[in-house]
Amino acid sequence: MSKLESLIIFKLVWDIIGSEFGGGHQQYETFYNGALFVTKGFSFRNYGYDEPVQMVNEFLGSYSLPTQVKELI
């Protein structure tokens, strides 16, 4: 890699993470939907748990153990 290519790559990286543009964009992405604890709490309260729990229960119900293991339980 030439010195010019290295310089171009470092400038691009700085523009992405270190400049005002990069920092401002990162803050925008972080806080667009609100504070993280608020969005996580909303997702937790409003997630439809019934279907995934039913899927797990169906899988566990269809899972069988070998006879030797059943005798040990």
Per-residue model confidence as pLDDT tens digits over 7-62: 888 888 887 777 666 667 777 777 787 888 888 899 899 999 999 999 999 988 88
pLDDT score for 70: 60
CB–CB of 29/23 below 8 Å? no
For residue 9, give every residue at least 6 positions away whose Cβ sits within 8 Å of its Cβ, in sequence order, or none.
1
Polymer length of the chain: 73
**Backbone angle region of 54, left / alpha / beta, with phi > 0 → left and psi within -120 to 50 → alpha:** alpha
Count of alpha carbons within 13 Å of 8, Cβ hemisphere only?
5
